[in-house]
Structure 1
Amino acid sequence: MTLSWTCKKFNDLSLTELYELLQLRSEVFVVEQACAFQDIDGQDMAAYHLLGHTPDGKLAAYARLFDAGIAYEEVSIGRVIVAPKFRRFGLGQELMRQAIAHCEQYFAPQPIKIGAQQYLERFYSSFGFVQCGDMYLEDGIPHIPMRRS
């Protein structure tokens, strides 16, 4: 499956794009993961929003990208999601390749940090991320800090 990718600052998102990305984040992070947490955390306005749409316009993949000093001291990627009905097509790998490339484009090549759900450590390791701290619980879900040099 081939997606078309766009990356926009918050103020450049259409209302429809904003609605779609918030709906997808809620579907996955709140409902699917049975986790009551404040997804709208005040950081969206400082992020670039990477959107992967199917040929028929459905939002299939999404991530937030931050310059250094916003979420972490380093550039960072967060809210990495592939919509449930589009999983198993390799879109997670493409999403991460796109996210890393966009970080390098917007923020120049430099280390990238993520707070990864622990069970995805092998997935993120395949992109050069290495655990850089101890496991911690975030909203009851085990996470690990990871860094890509």
Structure 2
Amino acid sequence: MRSQINWVRREFHQLSTDELYSLMSFRQRHLLRQNSLQQVDADGRDPLAWHLFALAADQGLIAYGRICLPDSPSEALLIDRLLCEPGLPLEGSLVAEVLAFTDDCFDLPVECEVTDEQMTWWHPYGFDIVVDRPANRHGMIRMQRTSTP
């Protein structure tokens, strides 16, 4: 039987100590597994970001995404740290939840930083590779929404 999933959206200051520890532990574990942790994960953007995560009653934290607010109004929101528990088909749900949140709450363009294999998660939502700006993290690909599905 499949457990019910509860999607949670929090600003950094709204996270409890236990939630913050769980999120950081989850991120470290999954970024290491992806071999995409080639720089320090705590990059200083978390306090100014929204954190979206999925909790399952029988498994705890199973998916996570970070929405970084832009430094200026002319810049895009940046979605990164997209992570799912292996073996669970949550990629589509994670992208849909993150985009529903950004579309509902912000009137800004949206970009994301993804791994090679995560690119396919974003194509159905109108995202393409950004060629004029590299990703912030080594080995990642920056994508932007170029059309609405």
TM-score (structure 2 length as normaliser): 0.82
AA aligned opposite 2:112: I
In the alignment, what sits opposite 2:80?
Answer: 78
| Structure 2, unpaired ranges of 5+ | none
Identity of aligned residues (%): 25
8 Å Cα contact 1:30/1:37 also seen in 2: no
Q: Identify if the C-alpha distance between structure 1 residues 45 and 138 changes in structure 2 by more than 3 Å, giving closer, same or farther.
A: closer
Give the whole-Å Cα distance in 2 for the aligned partners of 1:10 and 1:139: 21
Match of 1:12 in 2: 14
Structure with greater helix share of residues: 1
In 2, Cα distance between equivalents of 1:19 and 1:107: 27
Aligned: 1:147 with 2:144 = yes
TM-score by length of 1: 0.82
Give, in angstroms, the shift of residue 124 of structure 1. Answer: 1.6
Residue 112 of structure 1: aligned partner: 110
Aligned 8 A contact 1:62 1:80 in 2: yes
Whole-angstrom CA distance in 2 between matches of 1:64 and 1:45? 11
Q: Give the deviation of 1:127 after TM superposition.
A: 2.0
Query: Secondary structure at 1:53's aligned position in 2?
Result: strand
Aligned residues: 143
Unpaired stretches in structure 1, ≥5 consecutive residues:
none
Residue 93 to residue 34, structure 1, CA distance change in 2 (3 Å): closer
What is aligned with 1:131? 129
